[in-house]
Chains A and B, each alone.
Chain A
Amino acid sequence: MNLLPFLIIVPLFGAFSMPLISFLGKRVRDMWAVVISAVTLGIAINVFYTIWKTNQIIVYTLGDTTPLGKGVSFPIRIVWEVDLLGALIAVTIAFVSLLAIIYSLEYMKHDTGLDKYYTLILILELGMLGIVITGDMFNFYVFLEIMSIASYALVAFRNDTWEGIEAGIKYMFVGSLASSFILLGVALLYGQYGTLTMAYLSQYITREPTFVSKVALAFILCGLLFKSGAVPVHMWLADAHPAAPSSISAMLSGLVIKAGGVYAIARILFSVYSISLNIRTLGWIIIFFACLTLIVGNAMAVVQTDMKRLFAFSSVGQIGYILLGIGIGLAAYGTDVGHVALAGAIYHTVNHAIMKALLFLVAGAVLHEVGTKNLNELSGLARRMPLTSFAFLVGAAAIVGMPPLNGFASKWLIYESSALYNPFLAAIAILGTAFCTAAYIRVLFTFFGKESEKVKVAKDPGKVMIVPMVLLIIAIIIMGLLPWQINDSIMLPTARMLEESGEYVLAVLGG
């Protein structure tokens, strides 16, 4: 049985049944959220395993058995098309969402309106899952908006402080602007080619590459760079991510900027545009923004005094590495260097989701226990919160790229390929890491420094908050200890599948 539609049906059902389930009591409501997200993870793993084993793209047509219309040879229905990349990101989304929900059980215990909170968190999850499985441009936009609107609401969920409300409104206004740019691009493509199916669009644009298709790409790419938090359109991220509850920050920084940002960029550039436009140019456009992003993001992280804001800027920096991998993957398309760079970018996408989720959960634990995220007041936390500090140590070491943790494996692939493609890019990447190290060392010194008054009464949080952190630490260590096995068996095949845009087209159009 094809379980793919259940990837959307299950969280959708969970979200809309949540208000009813809440009548049965708080415990049932909490358990319902955990069960729904656990089942979603199971389905995502099943979909991933099916594609990985058969090496075949799964195509699902809504409302019919074939995407092609009756008597015509082109697709007329909404198509969901999942390759290894989509499935891998779906597993990551479902995994981190499950942990964020478990963490929320204790972290959000004292908040009110939790039925709305769990509804929104499941809608956020389904929006992201929709983005990574769809093969239709407008459907992609719809899921992007579902994801975005849920995240606007979640950023402003704690409306007792102005920080959350202000960040939420700012995020909503500028996010809607970026979404309208994407919509404009999609509308231009539809006006020009009369279709929204990505595979068919790819074929059409290859046949008739018009000026309008380039304008559409510029608008879509700009919107997606915004959604991924790339410089110069990153300003919203540093306000929105820290203002949200930490479990949501973990999802925003770990997942939302990946699914709605870098994944979508990779999908549109590789699957729709790679044949019709000069692929080297496309690659260098992405490399340009990647270099800006990884320098500015990491450098901004160095000067922050708010711990969550520091992590948010670090996310901007890490997006730079992922974009660099994608950019080199495009610019060196068809070579081993490009292939390894793309595999590195995909690997780093998964790794960063795990590492940043861990770091934001740590920040949440600190905020929960000490009541502040100001680094100047958190000195000497390690003695009072040893487990949390250990979790931070692992997360920070991984994100800086220390062997044998997972960040090293993926960053190494990106350094290696950028050194081979253009040594200047490698030097920029390493410079970004130098800033990143400086930023995290500041937090480390704070945690292990002289004890301040504020932290004297702090203690590690309860088990429910510790368990997700421990699971993420285990994931970081395992992915760090088996880097080449994971790379050879998962990341390289995923990169290969993404590069072969012809297969992506043929999966829908047949032949």
Chain B
Amino acid sequence: MKMFGYWDALYFVYAFIIGLIISYILMKWGEKASMGTRRVGAGTKVYLSGEDEDEVIPNFEHIQGYFIGRHVMWGLIRGINRVFIAFRREHTGLLTDYVSYLLITVAIILGVLIVWG
């Protein structure tokens, strides 16, 4: 089956641009979430473990002020982890929790079905 017309490729450009914007927001989030990372100023350091409280890492002085992919990757992992930890605090693990998740799901579906179904 042929899906594409000549101009339909533009959809991908569109999707790509939205992807870029989302990636940029994620990158900013990752950057912020990677602890101790500052791009300028005295505290700038290469990001290694995320737990490092040192101002400057010995032998890595030459990369001071640069912001590398590892910052983002670690920041992303850390950021996601923090979000989920926040959720986990609300989760007791009791059966009532699961009942409430199921009921919320039913409520969402039923609400949408009643209004637009």
| Residue contact B112 to A285, C-beta cutoff 8 Å | yes
Taking CB atoms, residues of chain B closer than 8 Å to A430 are 15, 19
Taking CB atoms, residues of chain B closer than 8 Å to A226 are 102, 105
Q: Which of B80, B81, B84, B114 contacts A214 (CB 8 A)?
A: B114
B40 proximal to A (CB < 8 A) = no
Residue of A nearest to B80 (CB): A299
Query: Would you call the interface of chain B mostly helix, strand, loop, or mixed?
Result: helix
Given known contacts A217-B113, A423-B11, A423-B15, A232 and B104 CB-to-CB distance under 8 angstroms: yes
A222 proximal to B (CB < 8 A) = yes
Q: A460 to chain B: closest CB distance in Å?
A: 31
Most chain B CB atoms below 10 A, which of A173, A277, A340, A427: A427
| Residue contact A177 to B1, C-beta cutoff 8 Å | no
Residue of A nearest to B91 (CB): A235
A467 proximal to B (CB < 8 A) = no
Q: Complex: how many Å from CA A53 to CA B26?
A: 49
Taking CB atoms, residues of chain B closer than 8 Å to A102 are none
| Residue contact B1 to A222, C-beta cutoff 8 Å | no
Query: Would you call the interface of chain A mostly helix, strand, loop, or mixed?
Result: helix
Taking CB atoms, residues of chain A closer than 8 Å to B102 are 177-178, 181, 222-223, 226, 233
| Residue contact B11 to A174, C-beta cutoff 8 Å | no
Taking CB atoms, residues of chain B closer than 8 Å to A394 are none
A200 proximal to B (CB < 8 A) = no
Q: How large is the interface on B (under 10, 10 to 19, 20 to 34, 35 or more residues)?
A: 35 or more
Taking CB atoms, residues of chain B closer than 8 Å to A337 are 3
| Residue contact B12 to A419, C-beta cutoff 8 Å | yes
B48 proximal to A (CB < 8 A) = no
Q: How large is the interface on A (under 10, 10 to 19, 20 to 34, 35 or more residues)?
A: 35 or more
Q: 1/0 per residue B74-117: CB within 8 Å of A?
A: 00110011001000000100010011011011101110111011
Q: Complex: how many Å from CA A434 to CA B23?
A: 10
Q: Which of B3, B19, B91, B106 contacts A336 (CB 8 A)?
A: B3
Q: In chain B between 39 and 81, which residues have their CB closer than 8 angstroms to a CB of chain A?
A: 73, 76-77, 80-81
Q: Which of B15, B73, B110 contacts A419 (CB 8 A)?
A: B15
Q: A212 to chain B: closest CB distance in Å?
A: 11
| Residue contact B3 to A177, C-beta cutoff 8 Å | no
List chain A positions with a Cβ less than 8 A from chain B: 173-174, 177-178, 181, 211, 214-215, 217-219, 221-223, 225-226, 232-233, 235-236, 277-278, 280-282, 284-285, 288, 299-300, 302-303, 336-337, 339-340, 416-417, 419-420, 423-424, 426-428, 430-431, 434, 438, 488, 492
**20 interchain pairs, CB-CB under 8 A:** A214-B113, A222-B102, A226-B105, A233-B102, A235-B101, A277-B113, A281-B113, A285-B113, A302-B76, A303-B80, A336-B3, A416-B3, A417-B3, A420-B8, A423-B18, A424-B18, A426-B12, A426-B19, A431-B23, A438-B73
List chain B positions with a Cβ less than 8 A from chain A: 1, 3, 8, 11-12, 14-15, 18-19, 22-23, 26, 73, 76-77, 80-81, 84, 91, 95, 98-99, 101-102, 104-106, 108-110, 112-114, 116-117
